[in-house]
Structure 1
């Protein structure tokens, strides 16, 4: 899962400092790994790729010839058999596309890899267009016919998949239009590719060096204020130079989305994402309302404390992720990061740690720093017949350890959910963030509970609060920014200056009076990948963080059998919705008190910090 842009400033961890690079037999820390994708294909020229494309294309043609126009006449066992055949073809396509996406993420600026990615994307789209009729015809079945099917034992396994599919029934278009939009998606994705390649190829002037965007953003967490300020100004200049391009990409994609939303009759710009997440519009609205109302109690209050700790009358945006003065954020070797995370996982559940260990032992992680690699981090589930892969950029900082804990949570979740098969393993984004944020919490709590030095505990608490604010407040602010941009775009193209104004208004509201935000900060919306890759994705992080806070509160209260219930929740994949998954823990996301319970955890940490201060 693509990682959120938090500018994570997590607490320093009591891990051993990195050892100087020597042979591992002499106690050196291992370098960050590069993944081995051979479990998918051995390389971009692997003959199995073209063979799989040919075989899958033939299977799709045969499937269409057998079932197109006949879904309404199938009996329940025949429909179940058709769904199983459909799943096999979709998984083959998923394997091909996953490999191309992973190759491209690892080498975004390589022309040959870009061409390979585009070729596979186009071929997969062509093949999958032959399958499009299947879900459309299922959705045209009358409710009574569907209920009859679901009462049959042969279709019991597929009940949740059919249920979720029919959420989109009111928004379904004619077969011809659906096919047109499906094939047109290839060209729409070219705008996303343009954004990715632009960010990856940018070089930011810092002193005598030309560094990547990832490197410059990393400097915003540096101990030295002049280093942070220099990075901020360099980024401001670089984004300003390309602002018309980023604005054009944003305007084009927002307009394209609006056209489709109008045709599909989605009431708000975020409605499609909510349907995809299997969460009601009013539940998302309640989350956004709760977080927004708590800005003064959370971010405003904390950043006022931070300004005092830093001895500054006002904070600038480059101070947001500054380490505390006494925070000695030592470099942490890869081996130590691995140990910290797996130890925390094992204390909660040995099974969780055992699955996590596979990612390290079997080269399922790419954490090395190199030019052309995608910024940020994600865990890609690929397909159940293979396994997930994690991409991150490991700088040896504390926040990188927390990113590892986060992405490993995704990976473990994806391994467990894979038991459901390709169609049923795919978890809605709101629930997909549960295991990742829980993994971070396990790592943090394990370290905090073992720390006896009051000074270190304060540093750790402050870092965790900042991480939570970045996950909850910042992501809801991103969601509000997206909402306003998409709403205004319906009235015409937005000038870059107007997008900057919307960004600044939202940032001032969310960060509070402790900041004196310069107008130059207005361009910092331009590099956020989620706005381009997955519009309205970002609230899922806040959803997941508040959900995990409430879940962890249940765990700490001594809930019997919590670990087993938790693992069962992860194994469920996409077969259950949030109400069913949270019910065993006595939680309900539709209850406003649920969100308050999650936000109270953050507020409680700030209370403790105020008392110490």
Structure 2
């Protein structure tokens, strides 16, 4: 099991005081301590359960009747829960302090043991995929409880054309701990250990604190932070280029052996989304660059009295914006009020996160950057990680991650195998939670300047989530294509990065020397190739959903909770049908992009 990636990096967050008491995780619902009896018991049970499963079922799947196949699937699900619980605990504990060598060792040892234990299970998906279609259909027709798992089987069998021999699949499984997983750890630990000397600051800053300065009101501080980032990235660029070269080559080798038609195929399969749907999304966003990011940033340059924006101006506050810090209690109340106004049930689902130690909010040395919500396993509950600094954007991040948490709580009722939501739909509740909070704040704006500030902040977040993430996706597509032709130098990767930055951000920008290395710190490229388009997918989907809500679609709340409760048990077509939406229709994406354009229209009208 891997931890989810943080939401898009918006170059914000670092430490600060006066925010009130920030909550910390209580991981005891998973395990009370690394050496507790329950952890040892579960590890021992898992080792035996995996061996017993293989002894009972390997070579026999084709001979099982419907009842026996159901027992097999349930046994596999119980193993999945146990392994997920162990790795959730080890991973969350590690992310609290990635510089703690004991925590890193504990997680690595747990991963090694679980990889060893679960190697005998590799046969299951391979053998299941060799079942004849007619035979499987007869089993599903014979047992309704087994038929409930059909979405899981469909996703598994989507890999049939790309399946290798049993021996090779076991080798890849065993080798994973010294392949991508090891390079991921190297990246995480390197990033967590980087320190930046920013001109004018009293002490060295970590990555989070330095990125946070890019949203400072003082332009000189923003510039100094950008230059410090560029300097440190440049000094480490050979290492980051080596990580990307290795991971892209490893992926190319495995894709070639599997006969995957493209580097993106594996991601599309895991997301249960058709390549043409992703292509329609990508093309719609790229075509909209001129009316979205290009137009907005020209407006922003005008507001700031600049001929050209520099990269350190991209997320700068507006000159009319009054700097303010939102303490933790106020942030909680803002989000909970917005959730409750939509439906009290939404607030009820979010409340335990604040009351039961399910959120870790403070910025601490060694803590992983960004924010995420981790579902752990369906028998426990999610945990939310933030790096909360009291900025208005941090309130939106809280709304976002709580949306994930609500989604994960509702989906858990499906059970372990059916609760996991494809990435393309996993962003639905999070972005919707943000939109509810934003609309609540916008409705409460007391002055035109406050409304303008809120609108501009939302447009910037949407550009970061849609335009920037599709630019990231194009960068990855270019990088993986280029790596197939040979080793890439740091300059090669830099050039690919700058090609998508200029295209997506537009003519309002000049790019400082050193910005070409800023690809180096984006974790998504390392941890989960081609993940990033899911953010744009989720934003576009939510904009269309919110339009249906605002238009007064009858029974919207009930339909919405049903959609979240479905988890991974339905395809996106089936989930969106009750709302009259279809993501496979190219015009669908234009609806979502039109909402962003409409906000920019309003901002332009304020200038008239």
- Tell me the alpha carbon deviations over residues 369-412 of structure 1, each in whole angstroms, 9 at most, x when there is no partner: 11100001110100011100011101111111111111000011
- Tell me the alpha carbon deviations over residues 481-534 of structure 1, each in whole angstroms, 9 at most, x when there is no partner: 001000000011100011011111110000000001123100100000000011
Q: Tell me, in whole angstroms, the C-alpha distance in 2 between the residues paired with 1:127 and 1:404.
A: 37
Q: Does residue 496 of structure 1 match 2:496?
A: no
Partner of 1:515 in structure 2? 509
Partner of 1:137 in structure 2? 127
Q: Does residue 332 of structure 1 match 2:321?
A: no
Q: Does residue 7 of structure 1 match 2:1?
A: no
Q: Does residue 65 of structure 1 match 2:55?
A: yes
CA contact (8 A) 2:112 2:177 kept: yes
CA contact (8 A) 2:9 2:370 kept: no
Partner of 1:233 in structure 2? 227
Q: Tell me, in whole angstroms, the C-alpha distance in 2 between the residues paired with 1:450 and 1:227.
A: 32
Partner of 2:544 in structure 1? 550
CA contact (8 A) 2:371 2:384 kept: yes
The alignment's TM-score, normalised by the length of structure 1, stands at: 0.96
Q: Tell me, in whole angstroms, the C-alpha distance in 2 between the residues paired with 1:144 and 1:462.
A: 56
Q: Tell me, in whole angstroms, the C-alpha distance in 1 between the residues paired with 2:68 and 2:537.
A: 39
Query: In structure 2, which of residues 263, 269, 275 is the aligned counterpart of residue 275 of structure 1?
Result: 269
Shift of 1:2: 2.2
Shift of 1:329: 3.0
Partner of 1:76 in structure 2? 66
Partner of 1:455 in structure 2? 449
Partner of 2:339 in structure 1? 345
* SS of 2:112 mapped into structure 1: helix
* SS of 1:510 mapped into structure 2: helix
Query: In structure 2, which of residues 124, 136, 157 is the aligned counterpart of residue 166 of structure 1?
Result: 157
Q: Does residue 537 of structure 1 match 2:531?
A: yes
* SS of 1:61 mapped into structure 2: helix
* SS of 1:390 mapped into structure 2: strand
Q: Tell me, in whole angstroms, the C-alpha distance in 2 between the residues paired with 1:442 and 1:125.
A: 41
Shift of 1:9: 7.4
- Tell me the alpha carbon deviations over residues 439-471 of structure 1, each in whole angstroms, 9 at most, x when there is no partner: 100000111112242111111111100000000
Partner of 1:125 in structure 2? 115
- Tell me the alpha carbon deviations over residues 23-51 of structure 1, each in whole angstroms, 9 at most, x when there is no partner: xxxxxx63211111000011122222122
Partner of 2:317 in structure 1? 323
* SS of 2:197 mapped into structure 1: strand
Partner of 2:35 in structure 1? 45
Shift of 1:8: 6.2
Q: Tell me, in whole angstroms, the C-alpha distance in 2 between the residues paired with 1:30 and 1:190.
A: 38
Q: Does residue 197 of structure 1 match 2:185?
A: no
Partner of 2:80 in structure 1? 90
Q: Tell me, in whole angstroms, the C-alpha distance in 2 between the residues paired with 1:160 and 1:239.
A: 43
Q: Tell me, in whole angstroms, the C-alpha distance in 1 between the residues paired with 2:593 and 2:173.
A: 40
- Tell me the alpha carbon deviations over residues 151-207 of structure 1, each in whole angstroms, 9 at most, x when there is no partner: 122422211111121111111111111111111111111100000000001111123
Query: In structure 2, which of residues 374, 384, 393 is the aligned counterpart of residue 380 of structure 1?
Result: 374
The count of residues paired between Structure 1 and Structure 2 equals: 598
The alignment's TM-score, normalised by the length of structure 2, stands at: 0.97
CA contact (8 A) 1:329 1:398 kept: no
CA contact (8 A) 2:98 2:192 kept: yes
Partner of 1:599 in structure 2? 593
Query: In structure 1, which of residues 211, 217, 223 is the aligned counterpart of residue 217 of structure 2?
Result: 223
Q: Tell me, in whole angstroms, the C-alpha distance in 2 between the residues paired with 1:329 and 1:279.
A: 42
Residue segments in structure 2 that go unaligned for 5+ positions in a row: none
Query: In structure 1, which of residues 54, 58, 62 is the aligned counterpart of residue 44 of structure 2?
Result: 54
Q: Tell me, in whole angstroms, the C-alpha distance in 1 between the residues paired with 2:235 and 2:12.
A: 28
Partner of 1:149 in structure 2? 139
- Tell me the alpha carbon deviations over residues 97-143 of structure 1, each in whole angstroms, 9 at most, x when there is no partner: 11111011111011111100100001111111121111211111011
CA contact (8 A) 2:66 2:139 kept: yes
Stretch deviating more after TM superposition (146-155 or 106-115) = 146-155
Q: CA RMSD in A?
A: 1.2
Q: Which runs of 4+ in 1 moved over 2 A?
A: 1-6
Q: Tell me, in whole angstroms, the C-alpha distance in 2 between the residues paired with 1:159 and 1:7.
A: 38
CA contact (8 A) 1:298 1:606 kept: yes
Shift of 1:3: 2.4
Residue segments in structure 1 that go unaligned for 5+ positions in a row: 11-17, 22-28
Q: Tell me, in whole angstroms, the C-alpha distance in 2 between the residues paired with 1:3 and 1:9.
A: 13
Query: In structure 2, which of residues 412, 422, 429 is the aligned counterpart of residue 428 of structure 1?
Result: 422
Q: Tell me, in whole angstroms, the C-alpha distance in 2 between the residues paired with 1:130 and 1:361.
A: 41
